[in-house]
Chain A
């Protein structure tokens, strides 16, 4: 094989980034096709990874196929760098590539994520890799692969709108809270992966390249930089994101996605930023949460 392996990389007996070069080429071809047809799900020969299906095997394969020794990797799960899944995947790439890792969104060239998009705006040259459990946004309406592929092919998306109609008819508003379907580049309807709908607007016209990998379902799809990503809605019931009454208890942020932390068993709870890097940066810059202000007072 005519592969040029980066030298002096501690890879523990495995190829750089675990996958063999043939497999990486196959995945890169799928990625290129995905970038060329934004939002279209490209089938690929997903490999068995040393991580269980459903735990990010698709994201890992995409990252493994594009990561180079010069990259700086950030891995988050639920917005945090220190959750179990993020720790596992980061240490996998540290072992198999030796690349630099970071918790800072700004410093990362490659960000693999499960369920969140960082609050810090992404910039040109950065790549987001999303872990996707169920890539087919029409799956809940039509379980058959043959039929959903046809619906995408013919852009027959009426049934998706029917689901939103039903929500409004029954609840007065659209009740999808995460994995909220989007239309990419005015053509394909796409699952943004189970990010909260709060993050959907960040995908629209993003300067970063966004790649999506579903290992178990063997699909890759992509949003090229500066591509329109519209959350589905009705003209008279426009898409809207979650809001919180309070602010982050640690950094006082009111513009970030907040996680609820239960503090006792009598209903006590506080809210903190889900994005730990964003929260930390704000604290460093001198912002304070309500709790700290109380203490200071």
Chain B
């Protein structure tokens, strides 16, 4: 199978401060990678570099483009890169307000990506939006309501629908469940797991919550002070952590 994403020696520095350093990994289609670490460990910087929101200081992020094959995303022109991020990729933000257009209806939020790539049939756009609202368990009667009137969990599910509507092959998620009640978290995680496996989407999920990665991630990367200190299959890393820091992390959250 072809690699979907190939990251090599990725480094981001801010002046003298290091965001993340020398990160390398491969991601295959349909694979879910969890990145864990405490706040300040560099995991969000890494995610922003991977998802073309932040230009790295060194290293490459190569993506398997549908036509060109593996291509460094920073060698693409800005239009190509922007097109990639809004069609073949999805980005689910920690705060739904950053990922949604709060001033337009739920239907428009889901439909926007379709319209951005040229959909011009109102009825079809609406049908598709309804379909996706159903998939993320939002009552289609709410299609014309503003996201502001939604609960936190609904907003996150709407954000997911908005991203998945163009059938991306790769989705980045930044702490998608933090800030939600425990029961709401569980439902959202369940939904993400179902959608990701049913649609075969590859995922990079950043979280400080080991419970989230245990449920969703096939593989795990543990970050500390900008460095990857340990990586491997999720169960392996969590059940038999090698690095002292990972051991500390695991022991501090048990039981999952």
Q: Which residues of B contact A159 (CB under 8 A)?
A: 101, 112, 116
Contacts of B116 in A (CB 8 A): 156-159, 161
Question: Closest CB-CB distance, A239 to chain B, in whole Å?
Answer: 12
Tally the A-B contacts, defined by beta carbons under 8 Å: 55
Contact of A162 with B82 in the complex, beta carbons under 8 Å: no
A154-B79, A162-B112 as given contacts; A169 in contact with B125, CB under 8 Å: no
**Number of chain B interface residues as a range:** 20 to 34
B123 adjacent to chain A (CB < 8 Å): yes
B65-79 near A? 1/0 per residue, CB < 8 Å: 000000000000011
CB-CB contacts below 8 Å: A147-187 with B: 153-154, 156-159, 161-163, 165-166, 168-170
CB of B233 within 8 Å of the partner chain: no
* Main DSSP-derived SS at the B contact region: helix
| Closest-CB distance, A193 to chain B (whole angstroms) | 25
B121 contacts A169, C-beta separation under 8 Å: no
Q: How far is the CB of B98 from chain A (nearest CB, A)?
A: 16
- Identify which of B79, B101, B117, B144 contacts A162 (C-beta below 8 A): B101
In the complex, B173 has a CB within 8 A of chain A? no
Given A154-B78, A236-B121, A165 contacting B115 (CB threshold 8 A):
yes
Chain B 95-126, CB-CB to A under 8 Å as 1, else 0, gives 00000010011011001110111001111011
Complex interface residues of chain A between 233 and 265 (CB less than 8 A to chain B)? 233-237
Residue contact B121 to A162, C-beta cutoff 8 Å: no
Please judge, given known A-B contacts A158-B115, A159-B112, A162-B115, whether A168 and B104 are in contact too, CB under 8 Å. no
- A169: B residues at CB distance < 8 A: 105, 107-108, 126, 143-144
Residues of B within 8 A of A (CB): 78-79, 82, 101, 104-105, 107-108, 111-113, 115-117, 120-123, 125-126, 143-144
A169-B144, A170-B144 known; A162-B111 Cβ under 8 A: yes
Whole-angstrom CA separation of A170 from B107 in the bound complex: 11
Contacts of A170 in B (CB 8 A): 105, 144
- Cβ-closest 8 pairs across A and B: A158-B116, A161-B115, A234-B122, A158-B115, A235-B121, A154-B79, A162-B108, A236-B123
**Residues of chain A lying within 8 A (CB to CB) of residue B117:** 158
**Separation in Å of the B168 CB from the closest CB of chain A?**
16
Q: What residue of chain B has the Cβ atom nearest to residue A161's Cβ?
A: B115
Further pairs besides A162-B101, A235-B120, A235-B121: 16, Cβ < 8 Å: A153-B79, A154-B82, A156-B82, A158-B112, A158-B116, A158-B117, A159-B101, A163-B104, A165-B108, A165-B111, A165-B115, A168-B122, A169-B105, A169-B107, A236-B121, A236-B122
List chain B residues, Cβ under 8 A from A237.
122
Expressed in whole angstroms, the Cα–Cα distance for A156 and B113 within the complex equals 11
